[in-house]
Amino acid sequence: MTDWVDAGTLDDVWEGEMCAVSLGAVDVVLCHVDGEVHAYRDRCPHLANPLSPGELRDNLLTCPAHEWVFDARTGRGVNPEGTALHRLSVRVDGERILVHLGQLG
Ligand code: FES
């Protein structure tokens, strides 16, 4: 699948916020930090719990289950290091947020 999928608008996820969106069978968390929107699968690499009910503060996304911490700008693990979120490509077209699901779709 090569399509970009409509994931909402910039009004749905303001700067400093994150939100969950379901794109078909794929659950995604959008993070709006440092003026950019980033998209990740809404699944923690630890034990696959959803990240979206967690906390986003100072560009750090904390999983609510066991408090692993990730850099919301890159998806890289901060605590512990050596982990990473599954990152998805994002394009903003006007107000629309488009996410590329790649092989996930
Ligand atoms: S499932 Fe996210 S820290 Fe354990």
β-sheet bridge partners, residue 69:
62, 79
Question: Cα torsion for 72, 74, 80, 86, to the nearest 10°?
Answer: 90
Q: Is the CB of 44 under 6 A from ligand 1?
A: yes
Substitution candidate for ligand 1 out of 40, 51, 62, 68 with most atoms within 8 A of CB: 68
pLDDT at 105 over 70: no
Give the CATH number for residue 54.
2.102.10.10
pLDDT per position as a tens digit, 63-102: 999 999 999 999 999 999 999 999 999 999 999 999 999 7
pLDDT per position as a tens digit, 5-14: 999 999 999 9
Tell me what pLDDT residue 99 has: 97
Tell me what pLDDT residue 67 has: 98
Tell me what pLDDT residue 2 has: 61
Domain count, the chain: 1
94 is in which domain, residue-wise? 4-104
- Of the candidates 78, 75, 87, the residue with the CA atom closest to the CA atom of residue 40: 87
Mean pLDDT of the chain: 95
